[in-house]
Amino acid sequence: MKTKTEIIVAPSILSADFRFLEREVKAAQDAGADLIHCDVMDGRFVPNISFGPMVVAAVKKCVSVPLDVHLMIVDPAKYVDAFCDAGADILTFHAEALDGSEDVRAVAAKIKARGVKAGVSVNPDKPISLFTEVLPDIDMALVMSVYAGFGGQKFIPDVMDKVRALRKLSTDKGIDIDIEVDGGINEETAKVCADAGANILVAGNYVFGGSDYADRIQRIRG
């Protein structure tokens, strides 16, 4: 990945035109996307259903940039192998879907044993204390700036306190970790996130809703 001082942009295919998914993800990659973000929803952890490993595997065949797969599901451990097999390069799960730090650590270990980077996330109303004990065991912390489940929601600025706390904690402990923010990202909110210490930004509607993907990605990068 790129250095922490340069923003990594991860367009979310949740906002792509699924009639032309191959064309969409290739266009995003050609426009400068660093990652392709895949939002997996099960209709249980979140009230929406999106797609599973088959779509992730199909996207993997279309692009050469890494796949950033976000599991918004119950029992993520059960599906680690399926998504790793499908081609996830980063696999993120929610701490609040589990029963404590030891379970979070176990799922992260299972992911990393597959040679895949492990990420942990929490919704805006959940504390980062659900996973801060395991920061040395993960590669990425995903701070949700909207509630998981649907695209197109409004950015929640208060969650930047979590980003700042995570960046300070990781710096103080000498832990090299990526901090990703997902939800309501555009050129204005991207700067807020970067200033708080985030280095990976997920954008769905802002990228795929524009006519010039390269321009939108560059605006996010700042």
According to DSSP, the residues that pair with 12 across neighbouring strands are 37
Residues 6 or more apart whose Cβ sits within 8 Å of residue 142: 70, 92, 119, 120, 121, 180, 181, 182
Q: 179 with 141: CB under 8 angstroms? A: yes
Q: For this structure, is 172 an active site residue? A: no
How many whole angstroms separate alpha carbon 88 and alpha carbon 56? 7
- For 188, list phi and psi in degrees, rounded to 5: -75, -50
Contacts for 23 with CB less than 8 Å, ≥ 6 apart: none
Residues in contact with 195: Cβ distance below 8 Å, sequence separation at least 6, in sequence order: none
Report the candidate in 3, 4, 15 with the shortest Cα–Cα distance to residue 182: 15
Q: Which listed residue (42, 68, 178, 182) is catalytic?
A: 182
Based on the residue annotation, tell me whether 39 is a catalytic residue of this protein: yes
Active-site residue, selected from the candidate residues 34, 39, 42, 178? 39
Instruction: Please give the positions annotated as active site.
Output: 39, 182
